[in-house]
Structure 1
Amino acid sequence: MKNFKQLVLAAALAAPFMAQADLKAMDDSTLASVTGQDGISIAGDFSGSIGNVAYTDDGGALNLNDIDITGFTIDDNAPLTVDVVTTSITPVGGGAAVATKQLAIGLPAMTGTVSVGKINVGGAYSAGALTGGSNIGGLAISDINMSGSTIKVWGH
Protein backbone atom coordinates (compact mmCIF):
# COMPACT_ATOMS: atom_id res chain seq x y z
CA MET A 1 0.00 0.00 0.00
CA LYS A 2 2.90 2.34 0.82
CA ASN A 3 4.35 1.86 -2.70
CA PHE A 4 0.96 2.70 -4.25
CA LYS A 5 0.73 5.94 -2.26
CA GLN A 6 4.24 6.89 -3.34
CA LEU A 7 3.35 6.20 -7.00
CA VAL A 8 0.23 8.40 -6.77
CA LEU A 9 2.22 11.20 -5.13
CA ALA A 10 4.97 11.01 -7.79
CA ALA A 11 2.36 11.11 -10.60
CA ALA A 12 0.61 14.12 -9.03
CA LEU A 13 3.89 16.02 -8.73
CA ALA A 14 4.98 15.18 -12.30
CA ALA A 15 1.65 16.02 -14.00
CA PRO A 16 2.11 19.84 -14.15
CA PHE A 17 5.55 19.44 -15.71
CA MET A 18 4.33 16.92 -18.30
CA ALA A 19 1.44 19.24 -19.25
CA GLN A 20 3.91 22.01 -20.10
CA ALA A 21 6.40 19.80 -21.88
CA ASP A 22 5.14 20.75 -25.37
CA LEU A 23 4.79 24.54 -24.90
CA LYS A 24 6.89 26.53 -27.36
CA ALA A 25 7.52 30.25 -27.70
CA MET A 26 6.00 31.97 -30.75
CA ASP A 27 7.56 34.91 -32.56
CA ASP A 28 5.45 37.95 -33.59
CA SER A 29 4.98 36.85 -37.21
CA THR A 30 3.72 33.41 -36.18
CA LEU A 31 1.49 34.88 -33.47
CA ALA A 32 -0.05 37.34 -36.00
CA SER A 33 -1.45 34.41 -38.02
CA VAL A 34 -3.24 32.84 -35.01
CA THR A 35 -7.01 33.28 -34.85
CA GLY A 36 -9.35 32.54 -31.98
CA GLN A 37 -13.00 31.65 -31.68
CA ASP A 38 -15.62 33.22 -29.47
CA GLY A 39 -19.28 32.55 -28.90
CA ILE A 40 -21.06 29.22 -29.17
CA SER A 41 -23.10 27.46 -31.83
CA ILE A 42 -26.14 25.26 -31.20
CA ALA A 43 -27.54 22.64 -33.58
CA GLY A 44 -29.90 19.71 -33.09
CA ASP A 45 -33.35 18.24 -33.53
CA PHE A 46 -36.16 19.66 -31.42
CA SER A 47 -39.76 18.59 -30.78
CA GLY A 48 -42.36 18.84 -28.05
CA SER A 49 -46.05 19.06 -27.30
CA ILE A 50 -48.57 21.30 -25.55
CA GLY A 51 -51.77 19.73 -24.23
CA ASN A 52 -53.96 22.82 -24.28
CA VAL A 53 -53.97 26.57 -24.97
CA ALA A 54 -57.17 28.39 -23.97
CA TYR A 55 -58.36 31.94 -24.58
CA THR A 56 -61.38 33.00 -22.57
CA ASP A 57 -63.50 36.14 -22.84
CA ASP A 58 -66.66 36.77 -20.78
CA GLY A 59 -67.11 33.06 -20.18
CA GLY A 60 -66.68 31.99 -23.84
CA ALA A 61 -63.56 30.14 -24.91
CA LEU A 62 -61.27 29.38 -27.82
CA ASN A 63 -59.46 26.17 -27.02
CA LEU A 64 -56.49 24.68 -28.89
CA ASN A 65 -55.85 21.02 -28.05
CA ASP A 66 -53.17 18.48 -28.91
CA ILE A 67 -50.47 20.87 -30.11
CA ASP A 68 -47.39 19.11 -31.50
CA ILE A 69 -44.07 20.69 -32.41
CA THR A 70 -42.23 18.22 -34.64
CA GLY A 71 -39.28 17.92 -36.94
CA PHE A 72 -37.50 21.17 -36.07
CA THR A 73 -33.92 20.80 -37.17
CA ILE A 74 -31.05 23.23 -36.86
CA ASP A 75 -28.27 21.99 -39.12
CA ASP A 76 -24.62 21.86 -38.04
CA ASN A 77 -23.62 24.01 -41.04
CA ALA A 78 -26.15 26.77 -40.13
CA PRO A 79 -26.44 26.71 -36.32
CA LEU A 80 -28.08 29.01 -33.83
CA THR A 81 -25.28 31.31 -32.67
CA VAL A 82 -24.69 33.02 -29.32
CA ASP A 83 -22.14 35.84 -29.14
CA VAL A 84 -21.34 38.90 -27.03
CA VAL A 85 -21.43 42.12 -29.09
CA THR A 86 -21.04 45.80 -28.25
CA THR A 87 -23.68 48.22 -29.55
CA SER A 88 -23.92 51.98 -29.13
CA ILE A 89 -27.29 52.70 -27.47
CA THR A 90 -28.82 56.12 -26.82
CA PRO A 91 -30.60 56.16 -23.43
CA VAL A 92 -34.38 56.60 -23.30
CA GLY A 93 -35.01 60.35 -23.11
CA GLY A 94 -31.83 61.22 -25.00
CA GLY A 95 -28.28 61.86 -23.99
CA ALA A 96 -24.96 60.50 -25.11
CA ALA A 97 -24.89 57.03 -26.64
CA VAL A 98 -23.38 54.38 -24.39
CA ALA A 99 -21.33 51.38 -25.57
CA THR A 100 -23.36 48.46 -24.26
CA LYS A 101 -22.37 44.79 -24.22
CA GLN A 102 -25.20 42.54 -25.38
CA LEU A 103 -25.86 38.85 -25.73
CA ALA A 104 -26.73 38.37 -29.43
CA ILE A 105 -28.64 35.22 -30.39
CA GLY A 106 -28.69 34.63 -34.16
CA LEU A 107 -31.57 32.46 -35.34
CA PRO A 108 -31.02 30.12 -38.31
CA ALA A 109 -33.35 28.64 -40.89
CA MET A 110 -35.40 25.92 -39.22
CA THR A 111 -37.71 23.37 -40.72
CA GLY A 112 -40.58 21.73 -38.92
CA THR A 113 -44.27 21.84 -38.21
CA VAL A 114 -46.51 23.15 -35.45
CA SER A 115 -49.87 21.41 -35.57
CA VAL A 116 -53.07 21.85 -33.56
CA GLY A 117 -55.24 18.71 -33.42
CA LYS A 118 -58.49 20.42 -32.38
CA ILE A 119 -59.76 23.99 -32.34
CA ASN A 120 -62.87 24.38 -30.19
CA VAL A 121 -64.90 27.60 -29.99
CA GLY A 122 -67.79 28.57 -27.75
CA GLY A 123 -68.66 26.78 -24.57
CA ALA A 124 -66.91 27.61 -21.33
CA TYR A 125 -63.46 26.93 -19.98
CA SER A 126 -62.99 26.32 -16.28
CA ALA A 127 -60.79 24.18 -14.04
CA GLY A 128 -58.63 23.17 -17.00
CA ALA A 129 -61.45 21.75 -19.16
CA LEU A 130 -63.67 22.95 -21.99
CA THR A 131 -67.38 22.24 -21.69
CA GLY A 132 -69.67 22.63 -24.67
CA GLY A 133 -68.49 24.43 -27.78
CA SER A 134 -67.88 23.25 -31.31
CA ASN A 135 -64.82 21.68 -32.89
CA ILE A 136 -64.04 23.65 -36.06
CA GLY A 137 -61.05 21.53 -37.16
CA GLY A 138 -57.28 21.71 -36.80
CA LEU A 139 -54.34 23.78 -37.96
CA ALA A 140 -50.78 23.16 -39.18
CA ILE A 141 -47.99 25.70 -39.62
CA SER A 142 -45.03 24.38 -41.63
CA ASP A 143 -41.57 25.52 -42.75
CA ILE A 144 -41.07 28.24 -40.16
CA ASN A 145 -37.97 30.21 -41.14
CA MET A 146 -36.35 32.61 -38.66
CA SER A 147 -33.15 32.91 -40.68
CA GLY A 148 -31.42 36.25 -40.34
CA SER A 149 -33.22 37.18 -37.11
CA THR A 150 -31.18 38.33 -34.12
CA ILE A 151 -32.30 38.62 -30.50
CA LYS A 152 -30.20 40.92 -28.29
CA VAL A 153 -30.27 40.75 -24.50
CA TRP A 154 -28.68 43.21 -22.05
CA GLY A 155 -29.20 44.71 -18.64
CA HIS A 156 -30.05 48.33 -17.93
Structure 2
Amino acid sequence: MKLIKKSAIALALSAVSFGAFAMTSIDDAALSQVSGQDGVSIAADLNINIGSFTYTDKGATAAENGSVSFNNIAVRGAFIMQIDVLAAAAFNTDAVGSLAVLLAPTSGATAVADATTLAIATSNALGRTVDATGLGPDAGDVVRFAFPKVTGAESLAHNASMSITVDSITTGNGGKSFGSVALKNFDLQGTKVWMFGH
Protein backbone atom coordinates (compact mmCIF):
# COMPACT_ATOMS: atom_id res chain seq x y z
CA MET A 1 0.00 0.00 0.00
CA LYS A 2 2.87 2.37 0.86
CA LEU A 3 4.37 1.69 -2.58
CA ILE A 4 1.11 2.69 -4.29
CA LYS A 5 0.93 5.93 -2.25
CA LYS A 6 4.55 6.78 -3.08
CA SER A 7 3.93 6.05 -6.75
CA ALA A 8 0.86 8.29 -6.79
CA ILE A 9 2.80 11.14 -5.13
CA ALA A 10 5.69 10.74 -7.62
CA LEU A 11 3.25 10.75 -10.54
CA ALA A 12 1.55 13.92 -9.23
CA LEU A 13 4.90 15.69 -8.77
CA SER A 14 6.08 14.73 -12.23
CA ALA A 15 2.84 16.03 -13.76
CA VAL A 16 3.32 19.36 -11.98
CA SER A 17 6.97 19.61 -13.08
CA PHE A 18 6.14 18.81 -16.71
CA GLY A 19 3.42 21.46 -16.69
CA ALA A 20 5.80 24.01 -15.20
CA PHE A 21 8.36 23.48 -17.96
CA ALA A 22 6.00 23.02 -20.90
CA MET A 23 7.34 24.35 -24.17
CA THR A 24 5.50 27.18 -25.85
CA SER A 25 5.65 27.95 -29.54
CA ILE A 26 7.36 31.12 -30.77
CA ASP A 27 5.98 32.93 -33.79
CA ASP A 28 8.27 34.08 -36.63
CA ALA A 29 8.34 37.71 -35.47
CA ALA A 30 9.51 36.76 -31.98
CA LEU A 31 12.00 34.26 -33.37
CA SER A 32 13.54 36.86 -35.66
CA GLN A 33 14.18 39.04 -32.62
CA VAL A 34 15.96 36.14 -30.89
CA SER A 35 18.13 35.21 -33.89
CA GLY A 36 19.04 38.85 -34.44
CA GLN A 37 20.73 39.16 -31.05
CA ASP A 38 24.48 39.17 -30.51
CA GLY A 39 26.49 35.98 -30.35
CA VAL A 40 27.83 33.95 -27.45
CA SER A 41 31.16 34.46 -25.66
CA ILE A 42 32.92 31.63 -23.87
CA ALA A 43 35.83 31.95 -21.46
CA ALA A 44 37.54 28.79 -20.23
CA ASP A 45 40.26 28.00 -17.71
CA LEU A 46 41.43 24.52 -18.72
CA ASN A 47 42.64 21.92 -16.25
CA ILE A 48 42.35 18.69 -18.24
CA ASN A 49 44.09 15.45 -17.24
CA ILE A 50 44.06 12.30 -19.39
CA GLY A 51 45.61 9.17 -17.89
CA SER A 52 46.68 7.73 -21.24
CA PHE A 53 45.87 7.58 -24.92
CA THR A 54 46.82 4.25 -26.49
CA TYR A 55 46.99 3.31 -30.15
CA THR A 56 46.97 -0.47 -30.81
CA ASP A 57 48.01 -2.01 -34.11
CA LYS A 58 46.34 -5.43 -34.17
CA GLY A 59 48.19 -8.32 -35.71
CA ALA A 60 46.84 -11.66 -36.93
CA THR A 61 46.92 -12.93 -33.34
CA ALA A 62 46.88 -11.24 -29.94
CA ALA A 63 50.57 -12.07 -29.52
CA GLU A 64 51.33 -9.97 -32.62
CA ASN A 65 49.54 -6.86 -31.35
CA GLY A 66 51.65 -3.77 -30.84
CA SER A 67 50.80 -0.50 -29.12
CA VAL A 68 52.09 2.91 -28.25
CA SER A 69 50.78 4.93 -25.30
CA PHE A 70 50.86 8.64 -24.55
CA ASN A 71 50.75 8.83 -20.75
CA ASN A 72 49.67 11.51 -18.28
CA ILE A 73 48.46 14.07 -20.80
CA ALA A 74 47.71 17.49 -19.33
CA VAL A 75 46.11 20.55 -20.93
CA ARG A 76 46.41 23.79 -18.96
CA GLY A 77 45.70 27.41 -19.74
CA ALA A 78 42.91 29.73 -20.71
CA PHE A 79 41.15 30.87 -23.84
CA ILE A 80 38.25 33.04 -24.89
CA MET A 81 36.00 32.31 -27.84
CA GLN A 82 33.10 34.08 -29.52
CA ILE A 83 30.41 32.25 -31.47
CA ASP A 84 28.37 34.19 -34.02
CA VAL A 85 26.02 33.30 -36.85
CA LEU A 86 26.86 35.34 -39.94
CA ALA A 87 24.64 36.04 -42.93
CA ALA A 88 26.22 35.24 -46.30
CA ALA A 89 27.31 38.82 -47.02
CA ALA A 90 28.87 39.22 -43.56
CA PHE A 91 30.69 35.89 -43.95
CA ASN A 92 32.06 36.94 -47.35
CA THR A 93 33.41 40.19 -45.86
CA ASP A 94 34.88 38.36 -42.86
CA ALA A 95 36.53 35.61 -44.90
CA VAL A 96 37.91 37.97 -47.55
CA GLY A 97 39.29 40.28 -44.86
CA SER A 98 41.08 37.42 -43.12
CA LEU A 99 42.50 36.02 -46.36
CA ALA A 100 43.61 39.47 -47.54
CA VAL A 101 45.78 39.84 -44.43
CA LEU A 102 47.37 36.45 -45.13
CA LEU A 103 47.95 37.21 -48.82
CA ALA A 104 49.16 40.81 -48.41
CA PRO A 105 52.91 39.99 -48.12
CA THR A 106 52.89 38.19 -51.49
CA SER A 107 49.99 39.86 -53.31
CA GLY A 108 50.60 43.47 -52.27
CA ALA A 109 47.98 45.80 -53.74
CA THR A 110 46.00 42.90 -55.21
CA ALA A 111 45.55 41.18 -51.83
CA VAL A 112 41.80 41.90 -51.59
CA ALA A 113 41.13 40.78 -55.18
CA ASP A 114 43.20 37.63 -54.68
CA ALA A 115 41.51 37.01 -51.32
CA THR A 116 38.07 37.31 -52.94
CA THR A 117 39.06 34.78 -55.62
CA LEU A 118 40.47 32.41 -52.99
CA ALA A 119 37.44 32.76 -50.68
CA ILE A 120 35.02 31.94 -53.52
CA ALA A 121 37.15 29.02 -54.75
CA THR A 122 37.48 27.64 -51.21
CA SER A 123 33.76 27.98 -50.57
CA ASN A 124 32.96 26.15 -53.82
CA ALA A 125 35.53 23.42 -53.05
CA LEU A 126 33.84 22.84 -49.68
CA GLY A 127 30.43 22.36 -51.30
CA ARG A 128 29.09 25.85 -50.55
CA THR A 129 28.53 26.89 -54.16
CA VAL A 130 28.62 30.66 -54.67
CA ASP A 131 29.01 33.04 -57.59
CA ALA A 132 31.57 35.80 -58.23
CA THR A 133 29.89 38.05 -55.65
CA GLY A 134 30.10 35.38 -52.94
CA LEU A 135 26.35 34.81 -53.07
CA GLY A 136 24.41 32.03 -54.69
CA PRO A 137 22.13 29.03 -54.12
CA ASP A 138 24.21 27.63 -51.25
CA ALA A 139 25.16 30.95 -49.65
CA GLY A 140 23.31 30.38 -46.38
CA ASP A 141 24.25 31.53 -42.91
CA VAL A 142 27.62 30.52 -41.48
CA VAL A 143 28.62 29.84 -37.86
CA ARG A 144 31.88 31.56 -36.89
CA PHE A 145 34.06 30.49 -33.94
CA ALA A 146 36.56 33.28 -33.26
CA PHE A 147 39.36 33.50 -30.71
CA PRO A 148 39.80 37.26 -30.37
CA LYS A 149 43.11 38.95 -29.67
CA VAL A 150 43.46 40.35 -26.16
CA THR A 151 44.55 43.97 -26.37
CA GLY A 152 46.18 45.93 -23.57
CA ALA A 153 47.64 42.83 -21.90
CA GLU A 154 48.95 40.83 -24.86
CA SER A 155 51.98 39.33 -23.13
CA LEU A 156 49.93 38.28 -20.10
CA ALA A 157 47.32 36.67 -22.35
CA HIS A 158 50.07 34.82 -24.23
CA ASN A 159 51.55 33.52 -20.96
CA ALA A 160 48.11 32.23 -19.92
CA SER A 161 47.52 30.44 -23.25
CA MET A 162 47.22 26.68 -23.41
CA SER A 163 50.09 24.29 -22.75
CA ILE A 164 49.86 20.59 -23.55
CA THR A 165 52.24 18.09 -21.96
CA VAL A 166 52.72 14.33 -22.32
CA ASP A 167 54.80 12.87 -19.49
CA SER A 168 55.90 9.77 -21.39
CA ILE A 169 55.43 7.90 -24.65
CA THR A 170 55.84 4.15 -24.26
CA THR A 171 55.43 1.10 -26.47
CA GLY A 172 53.53 -1.97 -25.34
CA ASN A 173 54.94 -5.17 -23.88
CA GLY A 174 57.20 -3.35 -21.45
CA GLY A 175 58.74 -0.92 -23.93
CA LYS A 176 60.74 1.94 -22.44
CA SER A 177 59.73 5.58 -22.73
CA PHE A 178 60.67 7.64 -25.78
CA GLY A 179 60.67 10.68 -23.51
CA SER A 180 58.14 13.45 -23.03
CA VAL A 181 56.52 16.07 -25.23
CA ALA A 182 55.46 19.62 -24.36
CA LEU A 183 53.61 22.24 -26.41
CA LYS A 184 53.96 25.58 -24.64
CA ASN A 185 51.86 28.69 -25.25
CA PHE A 186 49.46 27.10 -27.73
CA ASP A 187 47.92 30.48 -28.50
CA LEU A 188 44.70 30.60 -30.54
CA GLN A 189 44.29 34.40 -30.48
CA GLY A 190 43.25 35.75 -33.87
CA THR A 191 42.06 32.33 -35.10
CA LYS A 192 38.70 32.08 -36.87
CA VAL A 193 36.81 28.92 -37.81
CA TRP A 194 33.77 29.04 -40.08
CA MET A 195 31.26 26.17 -40.16
CA PHE A 196 28.42 25.49 -42.59
CA GLY A 197 26.53 22.52 -43.93
CA HIS A 198 26.85 21.20 -47.49
Large movers: runs of 4+ above 6 Å: none
- For the pair 1:85 / 2:91, whether they are aligned, the reply is no
Give the TM-score normalised by structure 2.
0.46
Partner of 2:145: 105
Render the CA deviation track for 1:60-119: whole Å, top value 9, x for unaligned.
22210111112x113xxxx31110112365484967523210111102466131111111
Distance 1:80 1:95 in 2: 28
- For the pair 1:41 / 2:41, whether they are aligned, the reply is yes
**Structure 1 counterpart of 2:78, from 62, 73, 82:** 73
**Structure 2 counterpart of 1:119, from 169, 178, 181:** 169
Which structure 1 residue ranges, 5 or more long, are not aligned?
1-35, 124-130
User: In structure 2, do the counterparts of structure 1 residues 95 and 65 end up closer, same or farther at CA, with 3 Å as the change threshold?
Assistant: closer
Distance 1:73 1:105 in 2: 16
Give the TM-score normalised by structure 1.
0.57
Deviation at 1:152, TM superposition (A): 1.9
Contact 1:108 1:145 in 2 (8 A): no
Distance 1:95 1:86 in 2: 14
Contact 2:128 2:139 in 1 (8 A): no
What is the number of residues matched between the two proteins?
A: 108
Structure (1/2) with the larger strand percentage: 1
Partner of 2:187: 145
Distance 1:140 1:42 in 2: 26
Instruction: Specify the code of the residue in structure 1 equivalent to 2:53.
Output: V
